[in-house]
Chains A and B, each alone.
Chain A
Amino acid sequence: MLKGHKSKKIIAFFIVLLIILFIFESPVVLEAVDSDECFDAFEACMTFFSWMMGMQYGYCVSGYVFCLVYL
């Protein structure tokens, strides 16, 4: 069994992880409508969350690429 403070830390870590995953559900990059907004959304995405998780980083990049191509 884990000691009290250790288990709390683990629970806190998973809560933070869940929050990050929840935030990624919103299609940040694709809500952009023109290239400037697309860039801003990409930058925001990169700055705060993407570097944390390699896979989400990839989705952010692919969204940005699609924006550039689509526009």
Chain B
Amino acid sequence: MRPSKLLIMFVLCWASFSFLFLWGKDQKTITLEEVLSIGCLDDDILYMWAGITTDLKGNIYVTDTMDYSIKKFNDKGVLLNKAGRKGQGPGEFLSPRLIKYFKGLIYVTDQFIPGIKVFDENLNYKYHIPLRIPVLDLKIISHERIFVSGIFLLEKKSIMIIDSKGNIKSDFKYLEKSKDYWKNVIKFEIDNERNLYVIFSFEDKIQKFDKNGKKLWTRNLLEKKKVKKKKLEKVKYGFSEVPIEVVYKDITIDSSGNLFILGGHLSESPGRDVYVIDKNGKYLTTFTLPEPSHCIHIDDHNFLYSRAGMGITIKKYSLKYN
């Protein structure tokens, strides 16, 4: 073989190895290491938890729907406190759902009781924020600026920003005009720069808006697969068909600003696949939870929390970035 041909082959081989090496480096991988498990079949610590949040010390707060209560655990998983019972009075629940910690206060929603109940860190009931709509998601950036998305049937679809008395301070329109009601069902996350990320429950769509409401980007992760729908035969008024699958279940954000999005029925592993994208919408990686979950939460120390055991167990994982 001529030396020139040998040289060309060498250059080609070197180029392809370099490409593979760089490509591999660019593909981030995330592995999970279980560090804590709370609740199991042999105890009655949790009956069916729905929402989860954490404070800066690593204490864990959950809503236990079947126990009509909220519970506080320390970072070792020891139950510290419990509040609530069945009822509609102050501090009582019919079906507690979302729970969010913000600077010493715990905000809790109930499926059947309008508004948001507020507790202190020791789970003492403080006050109630009145609201007319059922809440689908909420985030708190200050005690007087609470972002709420809900079920709007007659009103304009948007994320409302309310104060501690339930007054609407402003709203945030995330949606183009759409007659399809189900496209309005969303969950959202807010980063440190007050940018807002929206995931659509029944559509393969993720969007980012800046703090002034300007849309920065839109992207999808599942090649725009569509959810299955079922026709309602008996209903004469209202919806003629409803979705029976969910595209994205939940969104959370890590300390680096990367978004973690829990996939629903259209994912390869439903309720287990977590897609990671950066703040510019660039896809980074996907990892799979050991068990299906309805939500994910990342705390300030980059621990990820998810469901196991059909709602009787909380799993806490350490995220290893490679």
Contacts and interface: CB of A to CB of B under 8 A. Distances in A.
Interface stretch (B76-84, B130-138, B161-169, B188-196): B130-138
B8 interface: no
Nearest to B265: A68
A25 B113 CA distance: 10
Nearest to A51: B237
B111 A62 contact: yes
Interface stretch (B24-32, B206-214, B244-252, B274-282): B244-252
A43 B94 contact: no
B95 A55 contact: no
A69 B151 contact: no
Size class of B's contact patch?
A: 35 or more
A12 B136 CA distance: 35
B137 to A, nearest CB: 11
Given A27-B112, A66-B111, A69-B264, A43 B235 contact: yes
A35 B243 CA distance: 11
Given A62-B136, A69-B264, A35 B244 contact: yes
A10 interface: no
A39 B243 CA distance: 10
Majority secondary structure of chain A interface residues (helix, strand, loop or mixed): helix
Contact of A59 (B111, B185, B237): B111
Interface in A23-65: 25, 27, 30, 35, 39, 42-43, 46-47, 50-51, 54-55, 57-59, 61-65
A28 to B, nearest CB: 10
Size class of A's contact patch?
A: 20 to 34
B232 A59 contact: no
Contacts, number: 81
B245 A68 contact: yes
B235 to A, nearest CB: 5
Contact of B249 (A27, A43, A47, A69): A69
A70 interface: yes
B66 to A, nearest CB: 10
B31 to A, nearest CB: 26
Contact of A54 (B112, B150, B154): B154
A64 B238 CA distance: 15
B89 to A, nearest CB: 14
Contacts of A63: 111
B237 A66 contact: no
A59 B95 contact: no
Contact of B185 (A25, A46, A65, A71): A65
21 contacts: A25-B112, A30-B95, A39-B242, A39-B244, A42-B242, A43-B232, A47-B232, A47-B235, A47-B236, A51-B235, A51-B238, A54-B153, A54-B154, A55-B133, A61-B151, A62-B151, A65-B136, A68-B243, A69-B250, A69-B264, A70-B50
Interface of B: 50, 65, 94-95, 97, 111-112, 114, 132-136, 150-154, 185, 201, 230, 232, 234-239, 242-246, 249-250, 264, 294-295, 311
